[in-house]
């Protein structure tokens, strides 16, 4: 059924219409903004994740050495 949409040009014409319309432009801008925010969050979590892991390792080592 989804093949019919592409064969009739429905999806392509919808995308072209969205690109021409201001609403489509706004939608694309919001999509790009969300993608950028997601990349920044992933980068921050990656950096903080390593630091948090190292902190837990140090705490674990400290606790293990006192027992």
- How far apart are the C-alpha atoms of 3 and 42, rounded to whole Å? 35
Instruction: Say if residues 61 and 55 touch (Cβ distance below 8 Å).
Output: no
**Per-residue pLDDT at 4:** 54
Q: Which domain holds residue 7?
A: 2-66
Residue 4, SS3? helix
Q: Within 13 A of 66's CA, how many CA atoms are on the CB side? A: 6
For the chain, how many residues are written? 67
Q: Within 13 A of 32's CA, how many CA atoms are on the CB side? A: 6
- pTM of model > 0.75: no
- How far apart are the C-alpha atoms of 14 and 21, rounded to whole Å? 10
pLDDT in tens, 17-57: 766 766 667 888 899 999 999 999 999 988 898 899 999 99
Total domain count, the chain: 1
């Amino acid at each position: 059924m989804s093949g019919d949409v592409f064969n009739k040009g429905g999806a392509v014409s919808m995308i072209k219409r969205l690109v021409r319309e201001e609403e489509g432009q706004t939608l694309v801008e919001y999509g790009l903004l969300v993608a950028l925010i997601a990349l920044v969050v992933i980068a921050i979590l990656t950096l903080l994740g390593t630091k948090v892991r190292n902190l837990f390792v140090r705490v674990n080592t400290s606790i293990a050495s006192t027992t």
